Amino acid sequence: MKTVNLTINGIDVTVPSDYTVLLAAREAGIDIPTLCYLKDVNEIAACRLCVVEADIKGRPLRNLPASCVLKVEEGMNVRTNTPRVREAVKTNLELILANHNRECLTCNRNGTCELQKLCDEIGVDDIPYVGERREPVIDKVSQAIIRDASKCILCGRCVATCKQVQGIGILDFTKRGFETEIAPAFDFSMDDAPCVYCGQCINACPVAALRERTHIDEVWEAIDDPEKYVVVQTAPAVRASLGEEFGLPVGTRVTGKMVAALRRIGFNNVFDTDFTADLTIMEEGTELLGRVKNGGKLPMITSCSPGWIRYCELFYPEFVENLSSCKSPQQMFGALAKSYYAEKMGINPKNMVVVSIMPCISKKQEADRPEMEVSGIRDVDFSLTTRELGDMIKQARIDFKRLPDENFDKVLGEYTGAGVIFGATGGVMEAAIRTVADILTGEDLEDIEYHAVRGIEGVKEAALTLPIEGVDTEIKVAVVHGTANAAKVLEAVKAGEKDYHFIEIMACPGGCVHGGGQSHVSAKERIDVDPRVNRANALYEEDVIMVNRKSHKNPEVIKLYETFLKEPNSHLSHKLLHTHYEP
Ligand code: HC0
Ligand code: SF4
């Protein structure tokens, strides 16, 4: 690769010729402040905090160029720490603050706000500009997402994320001048926009202009109510991010400490969504084989990511019939806890409260869908994000890092490695193949890692030859993450260019590990660290150490079928664990 040589603050640097000065400085260990910059997503020089002084072979560049869009050149000499640069950065920050709703002490992002951190680092100790300030304009129609324009700094990170990464484009700059706002068009609420609640814009937001609707108070109330039996389930991906709430590196696996914390918070049982992830494989795998054998609708598409379900319903209703009829593991868990487990324990399901901890904000809306209940009893009562669990642990004054590792409770806390990897893109597919391949070959296959479906490539494909009713049949699968990639694959299927049997689609880039409810990772940290990779690695590490790594080997799932459901896709399974979506 072609490289160029330049100096930054007197340090000689050699970097690839397509680098920006911002990235080159980073390689030289020099931190340039940014707010609107989000690597590979938003590089628009809007906030003007990354300005530098520069000359090329003695010829000065005019004004103060923004380093996030300034390409490196041979012989360039850059200075990031001059009086002129420091003055400009401070003034630009003060101007942003002048129009910002500065309720830091009570703000949801207090402590993780990138604006607050920069003000501290740059030494902003006064706001000399007084003028009109935007009043709180809060859109809280949605059960999942809240937008507060008075906190918005117009950096455009959410706009670029929704449009380019997700290919949706709900958010954009509206109105003009002082009135400029980032919002859905026509003053629509997020619900009417129509947003799919992937929450990727929340992860992109440096401040608290976008955040999840919180349900923490309702959960405390249930825990404190002696009449209620409150059980909690944790999604696979939460264990790979929760530690970040307590300063641990991105992707530190904290399964045992998470369980210990939930027990100390006061949940009656600490269970794992991985149990019903395993169960999903049994139900969905059986459904797939049925469709292949009986000429059912193909490709079958996974139905566990509610952001994807909403995207499908809104933008590709012609594929609704392709969705697996399985409820997501979150919902299956609720339905089973309030039937199978409640019956086992002699608990009145009406007194049971099911709380989920999810890496997702769309799960809030999924739990709220009218059809997600059995005989008038809601499957899941409250769905919290990883961040909300972090807040609850702090509120309970639990010293997370010093907790011992504890195990999930028996029965609904039993899981396999296949259940764990659900949280990474490709995980549902790999788990399904592990089970379907064993069932069709009648063997206990040893080679169970399917690397073709792992990793962060947007669309992954694989083909396997398996015996179906005695005939070797090629099964073609695809794994897709991020709704922009989903659109590409669905268009190819519609055009007849692709003929898959089974597709895994997750709304979030990277799958649940990078869900909209995971711990915030700042834009600065994202230059060096890809949370999708680190957190997925944490899940694959857990898979490897599990005694059972195939869903059909989960002893409690086996027992559940023997004593309760009878067999996959049975009448009772359909009543509790399946649903249907209307095009
Ligand atoms: Fe996921 Fe799930 S794997 S959607 O990505 O299938 O949110 O982690 O909990 O339900 O299990 C999210 C993660 C889940 C569900 C599971 C699936
Ligand atoms: Fe766009 Fe997703 Fe944010 Fe909705 S939640 S505005 S779809 S990025």
DSSP 439-470: HHHTS--S----GGG-SS-SEEEEEEEEEETT
Alpha-carbon span 404 to 410, nearest angstrom: 18
The predicted model gives 359-368 an average pLDDT of 97
Q: What pLDDT is attached to residue 126?
A: 87
Average pLDDT over residues 9-18: 97
Please indicate whether residue 417, judged by its CB atom, sits closer than 6 Å to ligand 1.
no
Q: What is the pLDDT of residue 138?
A: 85
Q: Residue 222 is encoded by which pair of tokens?
A: 């249930």
User: Counting every residue, how long is the chain?
Assistant: 583
Kindly state if the Cβ of 329 falls inside 6 Å of ligand 1: yes
Q: How far is the CA of 210 from the centre of ligand 2 (A)?
A: 10
Average pLDDT estimate for 523-541: 97
Residues 483, 442 share a domain: yes
Do 34 and 164 belong to one domain? no
Is there a single domain that holds both residue 355 and residue 444? yes
Q: Cβ distance 164 to 484 under 8 Å?
A: yes
Residue 582 in domain: no
Q: Is 313 assigned a catalytic role?
A: no
pLDDT tens per residue across span 512-530? 999 999 999 999 999 999 9
- Our answer on whether the CB atom of 423 is closer than 6 Å to any ligand 1 atom is yes
353 DSSP β-pair partners: 230
Instruction: Concatenate the DSSP letters of all residues of 221-260 into one string.
Output: HHHH-TT-EEEEEE-GGGGGTGGGGGTPPTT---HHHHHH
CB atoms within 10 A of CB 470: 6
Q: Of the candidates 235, 251, 304, 256, which has an alpha carbon nearest to the alpha carbon of residue 545?
A: 256
Please list, in sequence order, all residues whose beta carbon lies within 8 angstroms of the beta carbon of residue 494, skipping any fewer than 6 positions away: 318
pLDDT digits (tens, 9 = 90+) for 227-268: 999 999 999 999 999 999 999 999 999 999 999 999 999 999
Question: Does residue 295 sit within a domain?
Answer: yes
> At 122, which CATH number?
3.30.70.20
Query: What is the predicted pLDDT for the residue at 143?
Result: 86
DSSP lists the bridge partners of residue 51 as: 66
- pLDDT single digits (tens) 52-71: 999 998 999 989 999 999 99
**Which of 371, 491, 541, 562 is flagged as catalytic?**
371
Active-site pick, 244, 284, 430, 542: 284
Which ligand has an atom closest to residue 171 CA? 2
Indicate if 223 and 207 belong to the same structural domain.
no
Output the CA angle 154-157-162, nearest 5 degrees.
115
pLDDT attached to residue 263: 98
Is pLDDT of 491 > 90?
yes
Instruction: Give yes or no: residues 422 and 473 share one domain.
Output: yes
406 has catalytic annotation? no
Of 583, 478, 551, 513, nearest to 305 by C-alpha is: 513
Per-residue pLDDT, averaged over 190-210, amounts to 96
Amino acid at 249: P
- DSSP strand pairing (502-506 vs 471-481): parallel
202/99: higher pLDDT: 202
Q: Are residues 174 and 306 in the same domain?
A: no
511 found inside a domain: yes
Is 202 found in the same domain as 282?
A: no
Atom of ligand 2 nearest to the CA of 516: 5
Asked whether residue 499 is assigned to any structural domain, the reply reads yes
Whether 583 is covered by a domain: the verdict is: no
Which of 125-129, 221-225, 381-385 is least confident? 125-129
From the candidates 155, 304, 326, 360, give the one annotated as an active-site residue: 304
Rounded mean pLDDT, 490-510:
98
| Shared-domain flag, residues 267 and 388 | yes
Predicted local confidence at residue 462, as pLDDT: 97
Residue 333 CA: nearest ligand 1 atom is: 10
434 exposure class (CB count in 10 Å sphere: 0-12, 13-18, 19+): buried
Active site residue 363: yes
**Which tens digits make up the pLDDT trace of 426-466?**
999 999 999 999 999 999 999 999 999 999 999 999 999 99
- CB of residue 413 inside a 6 A radius of ligand 1: no
Cβ neighbours for 543, distance < 8 A, ≥ 6 positions apart: 417, 418, 420, 421, 549
Segments of 254-367 assigned E as strands: 269-272, 300-301, 352-358
> What integer pLDDT is reported at residue 178 of this predicted model?
79
Whole-number pLDDT of residue 283? 98
**Read out DSSP for 510-561?**
TSGGG-TTSPP--HHHHHH--HHHHHHHHHHHHHHH-S--SGGG-HHHHHHI
In a domain, 7, yes or no: yes
Answer yes or no: is the C-beta of 159 below 6 A from any ligand 2 atom: no
Q: Is the CB of 195 under 6 A from ligand 2?
A: yes
- Indicate if the pLDDT at residue 131 is higher than 80: no
Residue 135 is among the residues annotated as catalytic for this protein = no
Work out which ligand 2 atom sits closest to the CA atom of 196. 7
pLDDT at 196: 97
DSSP state of 26: H
Mean pLDDT to the nearest integer, 544-552 = 98
Q: For residue 204, which atom of ligand 2 is closest to its CA?
A: 8
Task: Write out the residue range of the structural domain in which residue 83 sits.
Answer: 3-93
pLDDT tier at 582, thresholds 50, 70, 90 = confident
Q: How many whole angstroms separate alpha carbon 168 and alpha carbon 444?
A: 43
User: Residue 25 maps to which CATH number?
Assistant: 3.10.20.740
Mean confidence (pLDDT) of the chain:
96
- 299-355 residue pLDDT tens: 999 999 999 999 999 999 999 999 999 999 999 999 999 999 999 999 999 999 999
Domain boundary among 185, 212, 239: 212
Determine contact, residues 91/119, Cβ cutoff 8 Å.
no
Q: What is the mean pLDDT of residues 540-560?
A: 98
Give the CATH number, domain containing residue 432. 3.40.50.1780
Query: Is residue 470 scored above 90 in pLDDT?
Result: no
Ligand 1 atom, smallest distance to 419 CA: 11
Question: Does residue 168 have its Cβ closer than 6 Å to ligand 2?
Answer: yes
In short, whether 200's Cβ falls inside 6 Å of ligand 2 is yes
The pLDDT of residue 127 is 86
> Among the atoms of ligand 1, which is closest to the Cα of residue 328?
10
pLDDT more than 90, % of the chain: 93
> What is the distance between the alpha carbons of residues 546 and 565, in angstroms, rounded to a whole number?
25
Q: What pLDDT was estimated at residue 302?
A: 98
Instruction: Identify the domain boundary among 34, 61, 93.
Output: 93
Domain end, chosen from 93, 112, 143, is at: 93
Q: Is 137 part of any domain?
A: yes
> Does the residue 273 lie in any domain?
yes
Annotated catalytic residue, options 36, 158, 312, 512: 512
Residue 583's pLDDT is what?
73
Report CA(509)–ligand 2 centroid distance (Å).
Answer: 12
Q: What is the pLDDT of residue 128?
A: 85
Q: How many domains does the chain have?
A: 3
Indicate if the pLDDT at residue 136 is higher than 80: no
155 and 221, same domain (yes or no): no
* Ligand number with the minimum distance to the CA of 160: 2
366 a catalytic residue:
yes
Q: Is 304 in the pocket of ligand 1 (CB under 6 A)?
A: yes
Q: Which tens digits make up the pLDDT trace of 265-303?
A: 999 999 999 999 999 999 999 999 999 999 999 999 999
Longest dimension (CA), the chain: 82
Active site residue 312: no
Same-domain pairing of 260 and 375: yes
Identify the residue whose C-alpha is closest to ligand 2 atom 1: 162
Q: How far is the CA of 198 from the centre of ligand 2 (A)?
A: 6
What's the confidence (pLDDT) of residue 510?
Answer: 98
Is residue 202 domain-shared with residue 221, that is, in the same domain? no
What's the sign of the alpha-carbon dihedral 136, 140, 141, 144? positive
Given 3-state DSSP classes, what are the helix, strand and coil percentages for the chain, each rounded to the nearest 5? Answer: 45, 15, 40
Is any ligand 2 atom within 6 A of the Cβ of residue 170?
yes
- For the chain, counts of helices (H) and of strands (E): 20, 20
Q: Is 175 helix (H, G, I), strand (E, B) or coil?
A: coil
| 398 plus 457 within the same structural domain | yes
> Could you tell me if the CB of 51 is within 6 A of ligand 2?
no
pLDDT band at 183 (very low <50, low <70, confident <90, very high): very high
Ligand nearest the Cα atom of residue 201: 2
pTM beyond 0.90, yes or no: yes
Mean pLDDT, residues 372-394 = 98
